Amino acid sequence: MRMLSQREFWNKEAYEFDAIYSRKKSKFFVFLDSLFRWAMYERFRYTMEQSEPIPKKTFLDVGCGSGLYSLEFARRRAIHVTGIDVSDRMIEICTERARKENLGERTSFIQMDMTDFNADVKYNITIGMGLLDYIKEPLPVLKKMRVCTKEHVMLSFPVLWSIRTLPRMIRLGLKRCQVYFFTKNQIYSLMKEAGFDHCTIKQMGPMYYVIGV
């Protein structure tokens, strides 16, 4: 069975994924999300907290998806937010939402792989939330993020052998999507090799939240 490319997968799954945050689903499935995906909501809250003062900063959102983080930074009056994603359907969703909310001047969205991205300026903060789960060789992406960033990078990595690992591997495997998991030692090694002088790792259930400087 051929595995899908990330562009193919996220073009196919864009609206289903977005519903996790928009809550555009039945009350029962909203309840299940709050029970089993609490770490995703905590990750969002923590990212906003660690990004303050948002109005004084520029942001690069790598793997921006449907724009959850990018648009919230813009709503909180970030100087500017650039979101990039391999899925053109995700970029369409982001662009349309920015237009409807009159956030176009504070945002730009680009369909591109991070390894092909060349920024003219450095961003205060770069984030990659739910991104590295799907990248077999994350080092080139981490190196590029380091080069693009003035202050710090915030990332999430899925925990190897948490209670969620096997069910997630099976669920995504059935959808023909490859997913990858990490140990703390692997993360420390990757961050060091990517050029970060220091990183902190905080576990949030089935994921690690990493801040690199």
User: pLDDT (tens digit, 9 = 90+) per residue, 15-44?
Assistant: 888 877 665 655 554 445 454 567 899 999
Task: Count how many Cα atoms sit within 13 Å of the Cα of residue 30 in the half-sphere of its side chain.
Answer: 7
User: pLDDT (tens digit, 9 = 90+) per residue, 54-69?
Assistant: 999 999 999 999 999 9
Look at residue 31 in the predicted model and tell me its pLDDT. Answer: 47
Burial code (b: 16+ CB inside 10 Å, e: under 16) for 178-210 equals beebbeeeebeebbeebebeebeeeebbbbbbb
17: three-class secondary structure by DSSP = helix
The C-alpha angle with vertex 125 and arms to 8 and 178, in degrees rounded to 5, equals 25
Q: Return the domain boundaries, the chain.
A: 6-212
Residue 161 pLDDT class (50, 70, 90 cuts): confident
Looking up tokens 């920024």, which residue turns up? 119
Look at residue 119 in the predicted model and tell me its pLDDT. Answer: 86
User: pLDDT (tens digit, 9 = 90+) per residue, 66-124?
Assistant: 999 999 999 999 999 999 999 999 999 999 999 999 999 999 999 999 999 998 899 99
According to CATH, the topology of domain 6-212 is Rossmann fold (3.40.50)
User: pLDDT (tens digit, 9 = 90+) per residue, 195-207?
Assistant: 999 999 999 999 9
What does the pLDDT average to over 176-197?
97
Answer yes or no: are the C-beta atoms of 93 and 71 closer than 8 Å: no
